[in-house]
């Protein structure tokens, strides 16, 4: 990757754009701002979905288990397994493969019944269908009089043991579990009714999707194409970054494990595994959040000098970053919507949303079909890049040019790449009936898929919210003020499964039939309540504009009116968000002003030399055995000549000094038998000069990793507004 193509995370350089989308404040004191290259390799940005129960999802087995199995990372707290919980092997001959049951699941069973019954269930699961026919394939619980507890126990047994244990309750309150042989269940059938795998089959096959440098929707479309099904039947809780290594749970209807496993190896950058049949699909929003492991390379602090040694720079970076991360963990930061919310094209998605809400559909269409004349001209002349993504971009510019100039409308429809869904929908609609549909701009916008339409409107709401959040923090900082909004007493957020979500984890824009159906209600604090100390900054919410929300009863409420009323912001009224077209009516929603980590974050600092070096293993690396005595990532250098990169503890340079001493001692021992070699081989290798920072944290589903990094790394606000530090400590 060339330097031009690198995504250089430099909040300084992007501060003017950040200000344009409302990101203007930081709450974390930082000794010195710093920069780093993000996604030099796409595996430098790793995302693992967090299930609603708090467990981090990892790909553990590829396919049906023959391709490889993930070994548990040594330091993983979320998914630790009890290695001493194996079932005694003298009870029955051991089967070919023992399936380990997570200790946290065993604990759930123990809490609902007894430790003995839990162990009996585990034993039954692994040995109930063993070769010894003299043992009874059952497990019996003690008397459980609590009916809700019995119902929960039935559900947990079915979940934990993947419906292989069948439980029944007797009249005396005793639960009896039986092992269900796969051949005793109903046979699964393929889509055409042919016999399939000999095992019980639910309506939905849940699986873990691992992808490298692929978009979630693109991966789902490719899987659907090979399975010969519609992409809509593949469900997932949220979309994950394209230029990243990501892991998430998905579901597909009426498919067999073997059919899905057979796709492994046929699709570039995609692996599936950990299959499980369930009765319900996975919906958008069914996740707690995401765990990020982000490697920032070529890290530099403002004011660094060439006279400083790498070890000194590393120690300075550590002393700068660690206190900031600790402060973020305890105090949080402003819950801004990130840059990706507003798109990557010259015309932001929020600007398209503004035009739609202003009923200027022609301008919205022109904004979506904007093109670069130079790129389009080259593409028309046949100068199209070979790289698939760049080729698609060039063809998009060509298609938009052909349509906008009226050169060749039919060719425009044929040329536009499918992955540009909005442009494709618009071009197809405006050309399908010749001149009769060429001016139906409103119809063209409504023909864009619902998810994309929602994205444009959400982006405008997010744009307003960001500016309102900055104004709120500028006026009051961490203090609770009269008129601030909090969620009404007695109001609770609906369960994740009950909420319809978009690709960012936010509720999908869809007007409610009855105003009483709104998911949340908020109220303004009185002056006495604000001063009482009962509420903190973490209780404060701000609304995104809509007809079903209230606005702060103070100057921030007035700011919504003034800001949205500006001509550049659409000349809109926040109190009039209903539209004649129902799909463009916005109910609005509430969002916490401040964001915090779900668990304590961690950070590592490393000296290295080669930018292609991988600093943290992906799930696929672990399955393939890439982690063995350290990360054996892709390296251009010859390790025999320069040695593998060492993990530096950055403890005042002592770790680096010890590493140097070990290298010197090993070379001296290796050459002591040859005096001539000893004189030439004792020279120490050059110390790596580049710094990498590997930060690991968990965020809620609607939070943004890029906003978190900006808070951690700083920008020019550190010099421009020193009062921020005082506010953050108030």
Question: Quick one: which of 205, 212, 157, 237 has its CA closest to 46?
Answer: 212
Q: State whether residue 154 is helix, strand or coil.
A: helix
- Each residue's pLDDT tens digit, 679-712: 445 566 678 999 999 999 999 988 999 999 999 9
Q: What is the per-residue pLDDT for 200?
A: 56
Is residue 93 pLDDT above 70, yes or no? no
Rounded to whole angstroms, the Cα distance separating 284 from 508 reads 9
Is residue 464 pLDDT above 50, yes or no? yes
Q: What is the per-residue pLDDT for 437?
A: 66
Rounded to whole angstroms, the Cα distance separating 49 from 239 reads 10
Question: Quick one: which of 79, 71, 76, 139 has its CA closest to 103?
Answer: 79
Q: What is the per-residue pLDDT for 98?
A: 58
Task: Return the ∠ at Cα 76 (arms to 74 and 78), rounded to 5°.
Answer: 150
Band the pLDDT of 12: cuts 50, 70, 90: very low
Mean pLDDT of 523-532: 95
The H or E element containing residue 452 is: helix 450-476
- Each residue's pLDDT tens digit, 167-185: 888 767 788 888 765 544 4
Is residue 409 pLDDT above 50, yes or no? yes
Is residue 384 pLDDT above 50, yes or no? yes
62-66, 154-158, 421-425, 640-644 — which is least confidently predicted?
640-644
Task: Return the ∠ at Cα 166 (arms to 164 and 167), rounded to 5°.
Answer: 145
Q: What is the per-residue pLDDT for 463?
A: 97
**Strand 245-253 versus strand 45-50 pairing type:** parallel
Is residue 299 pLDDT above 70, yes or no? yes
**Which structure tokens are listed for 267?**
């699709």
Q: What is the per-residue pLDDT for 573?
A: 96
Q: What is the per-residue pLDDT for 512?
A: 35
**Which structure tokens are listed for 365?**
């269409």
Q: Mind giving me the DSSP string for 658-703? A: HHHHHHHHHHHHHHTT-HHHHHHH-PPPPPP-EEEEEEEEEEETT-
Three-state secondary structure readout of 288-354: CEEEEEEEEEEEEECCCCCCCCHHHHHHHHHHHHHHHHHHHHHHCEECCCCHHHHCCCCCCHHHHHH
| Residue found by looking up tokens 């559909």 in the block | 361
Rounded to whole angstroms, the Cα distance separating 605 from 36 reads 13
Rounded to whole angstroms, the Cα distance separating 505 from 556 reads 26
Q: What is the per-residue pLDDT for 152?
A: 85
Supply the DSSP symbol for 539: G
Q: What is the per-residue pLDDT for 519?
A: 57
Distances (CA, A) of 192 to 189, 213, 230, 305: 8, 34, 15, 69
Is residue 371 pLDDT above 90, yes or no? yes
7-11, 171-175, 365-369, 424-428 — which is least confidently predicted?
7-11
* Interior/surface letters 461-487, b for 16+ CB within 10 angstroms, e for the rest: bbbbbbbbbbbbbeebbbebbbbbbbb
98-107, 290-299, 717-726 — which is least confidently predicted?
717-726
Q: What is the per-residue pLDDT for 150?
A: 84
- Each residue's pLDDT tens digit, 474-518: 999 999 999 999 998 765 444 443 444 444 444 433 333 333 334
Q: What is the per-residue pLDDT for 438?
A: 77
Q: How many other C-beta atoms are found inside a 10 Å radius of the C-beta of residue 185?
A: 16
Rounded to whole angstroms, the Cα distance separating 508 from 453 reads 10
Task: Return the ∠ at Cα 438 (arms to 433 and 443), rounded to 5°.
Answer: 90
- Each residue's pLDDT tens digit, 552-609: 999 999 999 999 999 999 999 999 999 888 889 999 999 999 999 999 999 999 999 9
State the average pLDDT for the chain.
78
Distances (CA, A) of 346 to 372, 423, 511: 10, 15, 30
Q: What is the per-residue pLDDT for 75?
A: 40
**Which structure tokens are listed for 82?**
């009890």
Q: What is the per-residue pLDDT for 80?
A: 37
Inter-axis angle of helices 373-380 and 388-404, nearest 10: 100
Supply the DSSP symbol for 23: -
- Each residue's pLDDT tens digit, 125-152: 876 444 333 345 678 888 888 877 888 8
Mean pLDDT of 258-278: 91
Q: Taken in order 494, 496, 501, 504, is the CA torsion positive or negative?
A: positive
Rounded to whole angstroms, the Cα distance separating 262 from 283 reads 25
């Amino acid at each position: 990757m060339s330097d031009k193509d690198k995504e250089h995370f430099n909040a300084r350089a992007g501060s003017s754009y950040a200000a344009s989308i409302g990101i203007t404040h930081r709450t974390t004191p930082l000794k010195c701002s710093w920069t780093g290259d993000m996604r030099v390799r796409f595996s430098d940005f790793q995302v693992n979905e967090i299930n609603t129960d708090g467990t981090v999802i990892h790909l553990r087995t590829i396919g049906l288990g023959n391709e490889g199995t993930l070994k548990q990372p040594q330091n993983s707290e979320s998914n630790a397994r009890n290695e001493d919980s194996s079932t005694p092997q003298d009870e029955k001959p051991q089967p070919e493969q023992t399936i380990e049951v997570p200790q946290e699941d065993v604990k759930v069973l123990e809490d609902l019944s007894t430790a003995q019954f839990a162990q009996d269930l585990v034993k039954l699961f692994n040995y109930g269908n063993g070769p010894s026919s003299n043992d009874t394939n059952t497990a019996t619980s003690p008397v459980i009089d609590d009916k809700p507890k019995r119902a929960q126990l039935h559900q947990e047994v079915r979940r934990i043991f993947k419906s292989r244990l069948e439980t029944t309750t007797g009249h005396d309150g005793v639960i009896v579990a039986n092992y269900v042989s796969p051949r005793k269940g109903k046979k699964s059938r393929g889509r055409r009714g042919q016999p399939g795998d000999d095992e019980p089959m639910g309506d939905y096959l849940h699986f873990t999707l691992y992808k490298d440098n692929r978009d979630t929707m693109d991966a789902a479309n490719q899987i659907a194409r090979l399975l010969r099904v519609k992409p809509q039947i593949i469900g997932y809780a949220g979309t994950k970054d394209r230029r990243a290594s990501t892991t998430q749970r998905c579901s597909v209807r009426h498919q067999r494990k073997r059919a899905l496993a057979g796709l492994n190896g046929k699709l570039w950058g995609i692996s599936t595994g950990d299959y499980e049949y369930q009765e319900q699909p996975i919906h958008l929003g069914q996740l707690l959040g995401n765990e990020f492991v982000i490697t920032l390379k070529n890290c530099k602090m403002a004011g660094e000098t060439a006279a400083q040694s790498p070890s000194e720079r590393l120690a300075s970076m550590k002393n700068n970053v660690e206190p900031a991360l600790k402060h973020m963990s305890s105090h949080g930061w402003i819950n801004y919507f990130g840059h990706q919310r507003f798109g990557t094209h010259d015309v932001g998605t929020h600007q398209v949303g503004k035009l739609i809400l202003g009923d200027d559909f022609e301008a919205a269409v022109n904004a979506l079909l904007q093109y670069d004349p130079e790129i389009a001209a080259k593409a028309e002349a046949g100068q199209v890049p070979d790289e698939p993504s760049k080729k698609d971009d060039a063809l998009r510019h060509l298609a938009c040019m052909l349509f906008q100039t009226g050169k060749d409308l039919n060719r425009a429809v044929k040329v536009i790449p499918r992955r540009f869904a909005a442009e494709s929908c618009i071009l197809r609609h405006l050309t399908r009936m010749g001149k009769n549909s060429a001016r139906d701009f409103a119809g063209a916008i409504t023909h864009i898929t619902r998810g994309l339409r929602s994205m444009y409107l959400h982006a405008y709401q997010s744009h307003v919210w960001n500016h309102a959040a900055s104004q709120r923090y500028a006026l009051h900082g961490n203090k609770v003020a009269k008129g601030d909004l909090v969620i009404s007493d007695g109001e609770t957020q609906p369960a994740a499964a009950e909420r319809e979500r978009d690709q960012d984890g936010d509720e999908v824009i869809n007007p409610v039939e009855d105003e009483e159906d709104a998911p949340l209600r908020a109220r303004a604090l009185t002056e006495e309540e604000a001063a009482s100390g009962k509420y903190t900054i973490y209780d404060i919410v701000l609304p995104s504009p809509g007809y079903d929300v209230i606005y702060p009863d103070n100057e921030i409420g007035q700011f919504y009116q003034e800001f949205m009323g500006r001509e550049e912001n659409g000349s809109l009224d926040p109190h009039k968000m209903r539209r004649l077209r129902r799909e463009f009516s916005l109910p609005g929603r509430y969002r916490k002003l401040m964001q915090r980590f779900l668990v304590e974050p961690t950070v590592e600092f490393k000296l290295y030399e080669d930018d292609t070096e991988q600093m943290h293993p992906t799930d696929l690396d672990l399955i393939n055995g890439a982690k063995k005595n350290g990360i054996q990532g892709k390296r251009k250098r010859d390790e025999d000549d320069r040695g593998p990169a060492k993990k530096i503890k950055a403890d005042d340079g002592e770790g680096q000094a010890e590493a140097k001493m070990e290298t010197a001692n090993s070379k001296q021992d290796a050459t002591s038998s040859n005096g001539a070699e000893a004189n030439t081989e004792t020279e120490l290798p050059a110390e790596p000069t580049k710094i990498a920072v590997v930060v690991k944290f968990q965020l809620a589903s609607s939070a943004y990793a890029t906003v978190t990094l900006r808070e951690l790394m700083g920008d020019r606000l550190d010099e421009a507004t020193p009062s921020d530090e005082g506010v953050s400590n108030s």
